[in-house]
Amino acid sequence: MIMIAICDDDLNIGAELERTFIDIFGKLSVKYKIDVFFSAEELYKTITSGSHYDLIFLDIEFAQNEINGVEVGRLIRNERSNYIVSIVYMSRVKTYALDLFDLQPFNFLIKPLKYEKIDEVIRKYLKISGIWSEIFTYKIGHDIFKVQIKDIMYIESYNKKLVLHLADERKEEFYGSIKEVYREQLERFDFLFIHASYIVNYDYITAFKINQVTLVHSVTPLPISKHRLDEVRTRYYEITKRRKAM
């Protein structure tokens, strides 16, 4: 479970961030817990009392407080000797870059906050922290095998078997549930569950049409089932929009 702290004296921003996190982590099927603070002092007091956070979204300017986000970040790093927690700073101005340099911030977001940027930061954190493994694992008999997720073009299901179609044109067969594989290992990495028999990697799609997709190195398109069409189309365009915003 990821422990997250939001610290901003603007109640609306705190509530907006919390809603955004709930939506993003829900889509990514990642367990989380969020604490919201409205002052830097309150956040630091909670940390000194023994609370642990993996990721902190921290405002820099606090109108009614004695210490700002830069100062509480310095306390966390220097006084608490905590260089593990990832701190994402937030501000309406860009002039704090040099002040933040020695605090090793994970990222810096300019207000007003944009959903796509928050989503990008969270995905980056999940990958860098190792919470998201970029290795796909499967079993053949009692043996466990691994491949890089980025090398999977698509997965095909037939006769209770799954077939990995890899970028180097290799194929690997094993027994498994295509639904479980998608939910547990691939959904968060921009794969599309287009059909009861097919999961495809967005990165290898060369053509996306009304009821089919074409992949790299393939002349035969894969079908999109009718009952998945709206979901697949929505997900495809969400991924495209997010990547363009990066």
Domains of the chain by residue range: 2-128, 135-245
**Multiple choice CATH, 135-245, 2.40.50.1020, 3.90.580.10, 3.40.50.300, 1.20.58.100:** 2.40.50.1020
pLDDT of residue 64: 67
**pLDDT given at position 27:** 83
- What is the model's pLDDT at position 67? 82
Laid out side by side, the sheet with 191-195 consists of 171-175, 161-166, 152-158, 198-201, 191-195
- Per the prediction, the chain carries an average pLDDT of 91
* pLDDT for the residue 133: 75
> What pTM, to 2 d.p., does this model score?
0.70
- The mean pLDDT value for 154-181 works out to 94
pLDDT value of residue 53: 96
Q: pLDDT, tens digit, for every residue of 60-102? A: 988 766 688 999 999 999 999 999 999 999 998 887 766 788 8
Length of the chain: 246
User: pLDDT tier at 229 (50, 70, 90 boundaries)?
Assistant: very high
- What's the rounded Cα separation, in Å, for the pair 86 and 157? 40
Q: Which of 35-44, 63-72, 104-113 has the lowest mean pLDDT?
A: 63-72
Give residue 129's pLDDT. 87
The pLDDT of 40-58, averaged and rounded, is 95
Looking at residue 175, what is its pLDDT? 94
Of 33-37, 58-62, 64-68, 223-227, least confident by mean pLDDT is 64-68
CATH fold group of domain 2-128? Rossmann fold (3.40.50)
Mean pLDDT of 29-34: 89
Rounded distance between C-alpha atoms, residue 244 and residue 97, angstroms: 25
Q: What is the pLDDT of residues 207-219, one digit of tens each?
A: 999 899 999 988 8
CB 163 within 8 A of CB 172: yes
pLDDT of residue 212: 95
Cis amide linkage into residue 112, ω under 30° from 0: yes
- pLDDT of 131 reads 81
Cβ proximity of 152 and 166 under 8 Å: yes
